[in-house]
Amino acid sequence: MTVEQHGPLPPTNFMVGRQSVAIDRIVLHTMVAWIGSADRHFHNPAARVSAHFGVRIDGSLWQWVDLADTAYHAGDLSVNSRSIGIEHEDGGDPAAVRPDALYARSAALVAQFAREYGIPIRRGFGGPGIYDHRQIVATACPGELDTDRIICEAREL
């Protein structure tokens, strides 16, 4: 899987390491933007946010934060420490229909991390699994991204 590297980020936007916590969940997000906007935001030291990966509409993949480190993506440090944050490009419209290429790449990424970290490929409810950002904090994220589709497609890989 080809990954375009876009780090390092300012030290205010992620934490080195994971506080000795094992990765046991994946949190899915929408950017409400094009990836370039998210990239600029993640490189702004005042933002204090980041994600591990971004999936573009065309299915290409960007990485901002190393998996050994904690991205600030979920709005909860405990969840950040134990999760992988994946953003999804939506062209500025969280209700937009995403193309198959985006879903295929996201599902492949989820399946890969599930295998590598022993994460069950199921909706998370307080334990290991795959989460929508809105399950962690009060937000509309990930908008209309079909996360059930991502989970189902990941199970098939």
| Domain interval for residue 11 | 4-155
Mean pLDDT, the chain cut into blocks of 10 residues (157 residues total): 94 97 98 95 98 98 98 98 98 92 98 98 97 97 97 98
Number of domains in the chain: 1
Over residues 42-80, the pLDDT tens digits come to 999 999 999 999 999 999 999 999 999 999 999 999 999
The burial class, CB within 10 Å (0-12 / 13-18 / 19+), for 27 is buried
- Model-level pTM greater than 0.85? yes
Q: Which CATH number do you get for residue 150? A: 3.40.80.10
**pLDDT, position 6:** 97
**pLDDT, position 90:** 95
Of 55, 64, 42, residue with least CA distance to 91: 55
End-to-end Cα, the chain, rounded Å = 14
| Main-chain phi, psi angles of 38, to 5 degrees | -65, -40
